[in-house]
Amino acid sequence: MNGWSDAFNWLLDPTNWSGPGGIPARTEEHLVYTLVTLVVACIIALPIGLAVGHTGKGRGVAVQFSGALRALPTLGVLLLLATWLGLGFGPPLVAMVLLALPPLIAGAYAGVEAVDRQTIDAARSIGMTGWQVLFKVELPLALPIIIGGVRSACLQVIATWTVAAYLPLGGLGRYIYDGYAVQNYAEMLGGSIVVIILALVADGVFAIVQRLVVPRGVVLGRASDVRVRQSRSLVGTSGSTTAG
């Protein structure tokens, strides 16, 4: 219990909220690292996932590739890249991008594959080209699932960038490694709490975005389907009552 109280006292200490090593500055660094990682990973993963989902080709390779990346030990990859490339921002960025690729690729091709084939056939029947079908039909309908993949990748990256503080980098992981070096467990636990809060906030933001990107026609279609089912059930009930 003393550990938790010490951690909250550390969080409430005004000296930890100012300067280059303060919580706001470290949080900003962590967010920048996460944003850069997601942008680079999206540039690589989304075209691959969309191509696989649109053409239906290479799905097995994409699944195996994603599974292989998931099996990689992030800390081991980080240390190996640091040995090859030296210290700095590059090695952890590469390691974090590799971590973010699987959920992004899976979300992209799963979202496109989930689009109703009748909708795609209707788009082709009115003369849409393959590119038009992808960007005007498949992509808008697949966007909630794609955002779900980005959401999953973001949470993994936020949590794992703390490991990169093993190298001389900033971010919230700095509190964990610096606290461990001097056995300041209040700082370690306090830093972990900030990471958890940041992950929960990011998850909530992506959950809202995921709901907002659902096409309006899909929402209206679901609502109308509900009303139709309800009206049919009422008609059936009234018919049975009359017959009785």
Same domain assignment for residues 31 and 147: yes
pLDDT band at 219 (very low <50, low <70, confident <90, very high): low
Fill in the DSSP letter of residue 21.
Answer: T
Instruction: Output the pLDDT for position 229.
Output: 44
What whole-number distance in Å separates Cα of residue 93 and Cα of residue 97? 6
Same domain assignment for residues 145 and 240: no
Whether the Cβ atoms of residue 120 and residue 138 lie closer than 8 Å to each other: yes
pLDDT, tens digit (0-9, with 9 covering 90-100), for 159-176: 989 988 877 788 899 999
Tell me what the pLDDT averaged over the chain comes to: 83
Whether the Cβ atoms of residue 31 and residue 21 lie closer than 8 Å to each other: no
Q: Which residue has the higher pLDDT, 94 or 3?
A: 94
CATH of the domain at 54: 1.10.3720.10
Q: Which domain holds residue 21?
A: 2-213
Whether the Cβ atoms of residue 86 and residue 29 lie closer than 8 Å to each other: no
What whole-number distance in Å separates Cα of residue 122 and Cα of residue 137? 10
Same domain assignment for residues 81 and 7: yes
Same domain assignment for residues 149 and 207: yes
Same domain assignment for residues 101 and 66: yes
Same domain assignment for residues 221 and 145: no
Same domain assignment for residues 220 and 99: no
Same domain assignment for residues 223 and 207: no
Fill in the DSSP letter of residue 11.
Answer: H
Over pLDDT 90: what percentage of the chain?
37
Decide if pLDDT at 68 tops 90.
no
Decide if pLDDT at 207 tops 50.
yes
Instruction: Output the pLDDT for position 87.
Output: 77
Whether the Cβ atoms of residue 104 and residue 43 lie closer than 8 Å to each other: no
pLDDT band at 217 (very low <50, low <70, confident <90, very high): low
Average pLDDT over residues 68-79: 80
Instruction: Output the pLDDT for position 240.
Output: 47
Same domain assignment for residues 224 and 187: no
Q: Which long-range contacts (CB under 8 A, 24 or more apart) does 128-131 make?
A: 130/54
Q: Which residue has the higher pLDDT, 108 or 222?
A: 108
Same domain assignment for residues 132 and 239: no
Instruction: Output the pLDDT for position 143.
Output: 92
Same domain assignment for residues 190 and 242: no
Q: Which residue has the higher pLDDT, 78 or 51?
A: 51
Same domain assignment for residues 244 and 202: no
Lowest average pLDDT, out of 8-22, 50-64, 89-103, goes to 50-64
What whole-number distance in Å separates Cα of residue 179 and Cα of residue 190? 10
DSSP assignment of 91-144: HHHHHHHHHHHHHHHHHHHHHHHTS-HHHHHHHHHTT--HHHHIIIIIHHHHHH
Average pLDDT over residues 201-222: 80
Residue owning tokens 């390779």: 61
Q: Compute how many other C-beta atoms are within 10 angstroms of the C-beta atom of residue 240.
A: 9
Count of the separate structural domains present in the chain: 2
